[in-house]
C-alpha cells in the first residue's frame, strides 16, 4: 500500500523527491499513512475543494478492502 500511494502521488506532484509516505501500524490489519511533500505540492495533492485527496483515499480504500486491511491517510 505504501508503494502504491507513493507512486500515485508522485504522478501528481512537481517534486517527487520530497514526497514521503510513512506507514504506521495502528492495530491488527490497520495502518495509518502519513504523507508529507514540498509546501508547493500540498495544494496539488489536496486539489480544488479536496477532490484529489478524496480520490486518492477512495482508490486506496478499494485496494485496502481487497487486501483485507483498514487504512487511514493523513496529509501534513
* Backbone angles phi and psi of 30, in degrees to 5: -135, 135
Rounded to an integer, the average pLDDT of 36-51 is 96
Rounded to an integer, the average pLDDT of 41-48 is 96
Indicate the fold that domain 2-75 takes in CATH: GMP Synthetase; Chain A, domain 3 (3.30.300)
Residue carrying C-alpha cell 501534513: 76
Residue carrying C-alpha cell 517534486: 15
Cα 59 from Cα 33, distance rounded (Å): 14
Give residue limits of the domains in the chain: 2-75
* Statement: residue 10 has pLDDT above 90: yes
Rounded to an integer, the average pLDDT of 49-53 is 97
Contacts of 11 (CB under 8 A, 6+ apart): none
pLDDT, position 76: 83
Grid coordinates representing 8 are 500515485
Global confidence as pTM: 0.91
Grid coordinates representing 66 are 481487497
Amino acid at each position: 500500500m505504501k508503494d502504491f500511494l507513493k507512486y500515485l502521488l508522485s504522478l501528481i506532484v512537481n517534486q517527487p523527491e520530497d514526497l514521503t509516505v510513512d506507514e504506521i501500524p495502528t492495530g491488527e490489519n490497520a495502518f495509518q499513512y502519513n504523507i508529507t511533500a514540498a509546501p508547493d505540492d500540498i495544494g496539488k495533492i489536496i486539489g480544488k475543494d479536496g477532490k484529489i485527496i478524496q480520490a486518492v483515499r477512495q482508490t486506496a480504500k478499494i485496494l485496502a478492502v481487497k487486501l483485507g486491511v483498514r487504512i487511514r491517510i493523513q496529509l501534513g
